[in-house]
């Protein structure tokens, strides 16, 4: 009898939706999602401190969690994942959409392919661009077995997907790819974290110098790259090379976020044109980067 109850409580997929002030867009998402739900799927929508009580009308279909204070998407997602009973975790941003066969396709795939991470194609709602074999950092491009999925690192308001994908790459896992569009990404929405991040990025850039060789493959968020004299075709930067990147990435690479990254030193901050340039003291940290990764099973 107890075993039967456990079977009933188990789910194939737990969907996690971190929510913050996107009510109109989220209702459109839920209109598509709720029609697809069945006994094998559960959904958690985490209201991250905005006390959006209008969402409570969906409580008969999905789990609504209201947080008293805004703690960021990473906290909201980790909380829901901790409560999830699904074998797989799916992340959906509250301002995006999914296709009408999103759940059906994923359930059919899970039954045939018992892989740790299952990827699928996505399309940009605004540009129409279709991304096959997605290699972007966004966690919504795939579903993950809860038993091997790393938690989202706390303290990252922007670019939290970067350390998540790095942690995932350090875990031995198998993969499967669905050659089909299942996710619809809403790019450049006013007020989105991506747009906010771009505004902040434009206000000040950090100039860095490489103090240890490292590959760019895992750091493709670096922008406006300026190479030094040691040019390379193998996608690597070398000691002495300089480049510009956003503040959060600079802090990540220098270890200020306690992620054991000390491959660069900061040379200067380049503020917006209307501000005076601030030169900061050069800092060289002694901790060496640990870059060895376990290869994923093919």
Does residue 47 or residue 191 have the better pLDDT?
Answer: 47
The burial class, CB within 10 Å (0-12 / 13-18 / 19+), for 25 is: middle
**Which pLDDT does position 271 carry in this prediction?**
58
How confident is the model over 264-291, as a mean pLDDT?
Answer: 46
| Lowest model confidence (mean pLDDT) among 2-6, 70-74, 207-211 | 2-6
Model confidence pLDDT, tens digit, residues 18-59: 999 999 999 999 999 999 999 999 999 999 999 999 999 999
Q: 175: which 2 tokens?
A: 């993969």
**Which pLDDT does position 215 carry in this prediction?**
64
Whether the per-residue pLDDT at 62 is higher than 50: the answer is yes
Does residue 98 or residue 223 have the better pLDDT?
Answer: 98
| Lowest model confidence (mean pLDDT) among 38-42, 116-120, 189-193, 227-231 | 227-231
| Contacts for 279 with CB less than 8 Å, ≥ 6 apart | 268, 269
- What's the CA gap between 217 and 132, in Å, rounded? 18
How confident is the model over 165-186, as a mean pLDDT?
Answer: 94
Whether the per-residue pLDDT at 220 is higher than 80: the answer is no
Q: How confident is residue 237, by pLDDT bands cut at 50, 70 and 90?
A: confident
Half-sphere exposure of 244 (CA within 13 A, CB side): 12
Percent of the chain with pLDDT over 90: 50
Q: How confident is residue 190, by pLDDT bands cut at 50, 70 and 90?
A: low
**Which pLDDT does position 136 carry in this prediction?**
80
Residues of the chain with CATH 3.90.550.10: 2-185
Does residue 235 or residue 293 have the better pLDDT?
Answer: 235
Does residue 203 or residue 164 have the better pLDDT?
Answer: 164
Fold of 2-185: Spore Coat Polysaccharide Biosynthesis Protein SpsA; Chain A (3.90.550)
Are 82 and 54 a contacting pair, CB within 8 Å? no
């Amino acid at each position: 009898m107890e075993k039967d109850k456990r079977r009933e409580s188990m789910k194939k997929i737990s969907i996690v939706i971190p929510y913050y002030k996107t009510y109109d867009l989220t209702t459109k998402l839920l209109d598509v999602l709720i029609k697809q739900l069945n006994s094998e799927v559960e959904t958690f929508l985490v209201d991250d401190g905005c006390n959006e009580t209008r969402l409570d009308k969906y409580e008969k279909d999905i789990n609504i969690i209201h947080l008293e204070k805004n703690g960021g998407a990473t906290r909201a997602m980790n909380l829901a994942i901790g409560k999830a009973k699904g074998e797989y975790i799916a992340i959906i941003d509250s301002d995006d959409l999914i296709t009408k066969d999103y759940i059906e396709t994923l359930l059919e795939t899970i039954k045939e392919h018992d892989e740790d991470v299952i990827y699928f194609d996505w399309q940009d709602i605004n540009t129409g661009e279709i991304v096959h074999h997605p290699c972007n950092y966004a966690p919504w491009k795939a579903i993950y077995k809860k038993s091997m999925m790393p938690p989202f690192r706390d303290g990252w308001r922007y670019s939290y997907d970067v350390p998540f994908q790095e942690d995932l790459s350090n875990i031995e896992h198998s993969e499967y790819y669905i050659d089909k569009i299942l996710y619809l990404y809403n790019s450049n929405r006013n007020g989105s974290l991506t747009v906010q991040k771009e505004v902040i990025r434009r206000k000040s850039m950090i100039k860095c110098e490489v103090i240890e060789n490292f590959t760019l493959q895992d750091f493709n968020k670096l922008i406006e790259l300026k190479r030094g004299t040691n040019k390379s075709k193998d996608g690597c930067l070398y000691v002495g090379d300089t480049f510009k990147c956003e503040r959060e990435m600079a802090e990540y690479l220098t270890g200020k976020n306690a992620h054991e990254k000390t491959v660069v030193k900061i040379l200067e901050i380049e503020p917006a044109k209307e501000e005076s340039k601030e030169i900061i003291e050069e800092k060289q940290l002694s901790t060496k980067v640990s870059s060895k990764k376990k290869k994923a099973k093919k």
